[in-house]
């Protein structure tokens, strides 16, 4: 007996699957995709995934985005296998996982006064109430298989405008080859949990202590010129370039969709920003390259 997905016609759509922790910004991500021209569906029941894909292909849809999360807790475990099946059948599917630190999630839920989807669970002896921390950790365990398959985006330090911009840049990159993402950050605000490689450049000379450069960033010519005048900065840039040049072909052969290289300094404003700008310029001719500066966008819009 055939299963519903065995007769899928050749795909004509681009499918983006978004999942992740409750309170991590999935609604913001869907809004960004809707703005980018995607037909978006929130909380599609996993049982309907194959039928939905078949329907969208039949009607000639070009771009579709789905959000699934712990609201479908009972049937959610089947989705990672469904994703692998769709990929094996040639469906152009990208999976994005939005993650956030537990303390940040607790703060967001407390501020919004929303209940966590897993705050109440069924038990043979009756419903069991969980506290917020227990609900979050239970959700992490439930979603772990998704996280292993997806490109992870840490939204702990991101404002909604930053997340929307990042989502749009990701989906605009070609899917056929590895996408290289360079990200600057401040160690004082935490390491991006989604990074594949993290490099610490706090040992380099710091333009912050030059009063004429303090208010500028590593994107400004004055700061770039100051950093380029120091031999250690050039050595660091050359060594990072050589390391990544050696290993990116292997990562590409391993069928990686994204590789995130995070470069951190104390404030995420000068040294890390400069090196991200330089590395993105060096790799852009041969790789699909994106860049982000986590600390430079100070937009205050909340999720």
Over residues 99-110, the pLDDT tens digits come to: 999 999 998 888
Long-range contacts of 249-255, Cβ-Cβ distance < 8 Å, separation of 24 or more: 251/178, 252/177, 252/178
In the chain, % of residues over pLDDT 90: 49
Higher pLDDT, 144 or 281: 281
Residue 90: CB atoms within 10 A of its CB come to 10
Whether residue 211 is predicted with pLDDT greater than 80 in this model: the reply is yes
Whether residue 188 is predicted with pLDDT greater than 50 in this model: the reply is yes
Question: Of all residues in the chain, what percent are helix, strand and coil, respectively (each to 5)?
Answer: 45, 20, 40
Distance separating alpha carbons of residues 276 and 269, to the nearest angstrom: 11
Which residues are CB-neighbours of 97 under 8 A, at least 6 positions away? 19, 20, 143, 146, 147, 150, 151, 152, 153
Whether residue 28 is predicted with pLDDT greater than 70 in this model: the reply is yes
The two structure tokens encoding residue 283: 């790799």
At the topology level, CATH places domain 14-172 in Rossmann fold (3.40.50)
Whether residue 11 is predicted with pLDDT greater than 60 in this model: the reply is no
Q: Where are the domains of the chain?
A: 14-172, 179-293
pLDDT recorded at residue 178 = 85
Report whether 91 contacts 103 (CB < 8 A).
Answer: no
**How confident is the model over 271-280, as a mean pLDDT?**
98
Distance separating alpha carbons of residues 128 and 3, to the nearest angstrom: 36
pLDDT recorded at residue 126 = 46
Long-range contacts of 278-286, Cβ-Cβ distance < 8 Å, separation of 24 or more: 278/237, 279/182, 279/237, 279/240, 279/241, 279/244, 280/182, 282/241, 283/180, 283/182, 283/241, 283/244, 283/248
pLDDT recorded at residue 230 = 97
Residue 287: CB atoms within 10 A of its CB come to 18
pLDDT recorded at residue 256 = 79
The two structure tokens encoding residue 218: 């590593």
**58-97: pLDDT as tens digits:** 888 788 999 988 877 777 888 888 888 888 887 888 899 9
pLDDT recorded at residue 298 = 56
3-state secondary structure labels for all residues of 163-211? HHHHHHHHHHCCCCCCEEEEEEEEHHHCCCCCCCEEEECCCCCCHHHCC
Whether residue 201 is predicted with pLDDT greater than 60 in this model: the reply is yes
Whole-structure pTM value:
0.74
Whether residue 272 is predicted with pLDDT greater than 90 in this model: the reply is yes
Higher pLDDT, 206 or 298: 206
């Amino acid at each position: 007996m055939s299963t519903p997905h065995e007769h899928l016609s050749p795909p004509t759509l681009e499918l983006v699957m978004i999942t992740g922790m409750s309170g991590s910004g999935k609604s913001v991500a869907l809004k960004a995709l809707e703005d980018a021209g995607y037909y978006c569906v929130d909380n599609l029941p996993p049982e309907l995934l194959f039928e939905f894909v078949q329907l969208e292909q039949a009607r000639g849809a070009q771009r579709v985005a789905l959000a699934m999360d712990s609201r479908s807790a009972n049937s959610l475990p089947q989705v990672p296998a469904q994703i692998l099946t769709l990929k094996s059948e040639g469906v152009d599917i990208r999976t994005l996982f939005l993650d956030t630190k537990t303390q940040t999630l607790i703060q967001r839920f407390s501020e919004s006064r929303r209940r966590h989807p897993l705050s109440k669970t069924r038990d043979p002896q009756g419903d069991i109430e969980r506290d917020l921390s227990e609900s979050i950790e239970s959700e992490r365990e439930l979603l772990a298989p998704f996280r292993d398959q997806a490109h992870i985006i840490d939204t702990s330090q991101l404002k909604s405008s930053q997340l929307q911009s990042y989502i749009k840049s990701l989906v605009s990159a070609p899917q056929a080859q590895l996408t290289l993402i360079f990200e600057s950050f401040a160690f004082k605000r935490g390491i991006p949990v989604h990074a594949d490689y993290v490099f610490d450049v706090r040992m380099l000379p710091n333009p912050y202590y030059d009063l004429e450069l303090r208010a500028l960033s590593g994107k400004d010519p004055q700061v770039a010129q100051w950093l380029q005048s120091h031999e250690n900065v050039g050595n660091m840039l050359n060594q990072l370039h050589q390391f990544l040049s050696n290993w990116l072909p292997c990562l590409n052969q391993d069928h990686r969709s994204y590789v995130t290289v995070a470069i951190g300094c104390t404030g995420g404003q000068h040294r890390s920003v400069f090196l991200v700008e330089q590395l993105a310029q060096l790799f852009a001719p041969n790789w699909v390259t994106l860049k982000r500066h986590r600390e430079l966008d100070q937009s205050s819009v909340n999720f």
